[in-house]
């Protein structure tokens, strides 16, 4: 049986102790300023967002110091981030049917949750403990109810995601988990899975000042 709605890249997530630290990190890496996005009341977080292609985007996410602490774990492993420097922690893949995709995803991705930011709402897989599948190298999976996708309407900053490199201590296992669920052109042309001692994500991004690496 094959997945009926293969996954494609939706966005990348930089996790930071604060939005200001995250924005400074991205500016150092890419030479661009990232506009403010909004708040996630259910998770006690907020973000900055910028376009990375036709409908792909970059997110910087951090705990919102003005929001009450939720009774559950925050997403993106933010409760365990502490004072760690900002880094490219995760990526999010899009599907047209999260219900159908769940049959093909590892249990570590968590269960679909309804999320919101302002007047936007969506479904996203979130583990109960707020951590990542494969340490962040396997994507969370999102289903947007609207068309066009939100990334298409975000502020243009002159950047385009070219490729994503996923380094992992168990690279063959990660590759085996990704291959059946990702769109073939995305997997073959834009995703590279590599063996490494620790988990690390690295994105090659075309910017107004040339090709830069975020990771």
Q: What is the pLDDT of residues 107-117, one digit of tens each?
A: 999 999 998 88
Domains of the chain and any CATH numbers: 8-214 (3.10.180.10)
What is the pLDDT tens value at each position of the chain, 215 positions in all? Answer: 689 889 999 999 999 999 999 999 999 999 999 999 999 999 999 999 999 999 999 999 999 999 999 999 999 999 999 999 999 999 999 999 999 999 999 999 999 999 888 888 899 999 999 999 999 999 999 999 988 998 989 989 999 999 999 999 999 999 999 999 999 988 789 999 999 999 999 999 999 999 999 98
Report how far residue 100's alpha carbon sits from residue 4's, in angstroms, rounded to the nearest whole number: 7
Please check whether residue 36 is in contact with residue 45, taking contact to mean a CB–CB distance below 8 angstroms: no
Exposed / middle / buried, residue 17 (Cβ in 10 Å: 0-12, 13-18, 19+):
middle
Beta bridge partners of 200: 167
Please check whether residue 13 is in contact with residue 76, taking contact to mean a CB–CB distance below 8 angstroms: yes
Please check whether residue 188 is in contact with residue 203, taking contact to mean a CB–CB distance below 8 angstroms: no
Report how far residue 24's alpha carbon sits from residue 17's, in angstroms, rounded to the nearest whole number: 12
**How much is the pTM?**
0.95
DSSP structure string for 44-75: TEEEEEEE-SSS-EEEEEEE-TTSPPPSS--S
* Phi and psi angles of residue 67, each rounded to the nearest 5 degrees, phi first: -100, 145
User: Helices then strands (H, E): number in the chain?
Assistant: 4, 12
Report how far residue 25's alpha carbon sits from residue 86's, in angstroms, rounded to the nearest whole number: 7
């Amino acid at each position: 049986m094959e997945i009926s709605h293969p996954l494609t890249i939706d966005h990348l997530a930089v996790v930071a102790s604060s939005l200001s630290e995250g924005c400074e990190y991205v500016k150092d890496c890419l030479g661009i300023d990232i506009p403010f996005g909004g708040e996630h009341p259910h998770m006690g977080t907020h973000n900055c967002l910028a376009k990375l292609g036709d409908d792909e985007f970059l997110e910087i996410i951090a705990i919102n110091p003005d929001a009450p602490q939720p009774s559950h774990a925050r997403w993106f492993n933010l409760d365990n981030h502490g004072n760690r420097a900002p880094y490219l922690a995760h990526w999010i893949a899009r599907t047209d049917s999260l219900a159908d995709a769940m049959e093909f995803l590892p249990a570590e991705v968590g269960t679909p949750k309804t999320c919101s930011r302002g007047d936007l709402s969506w479904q996203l897989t979130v583990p109960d403990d707020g951590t990542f599948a494969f340490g962040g190298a396997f994507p969370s999976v999102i289903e947007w109810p609207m068309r066009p996708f939100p990334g298409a309407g975000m502020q243009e900053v002159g950047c385009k995601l070219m490729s994503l490199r996923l380094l992992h201590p168990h690279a063959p296992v990660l590759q085996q988990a990704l291959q059946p669920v990702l769109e073939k052109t995305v997997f073959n042309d834009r995703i590279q899975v590599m063996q490494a001692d620790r988990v690390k994500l690295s994105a090659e991004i075309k910017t107004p000042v040339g090709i830069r690496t975020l990771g």
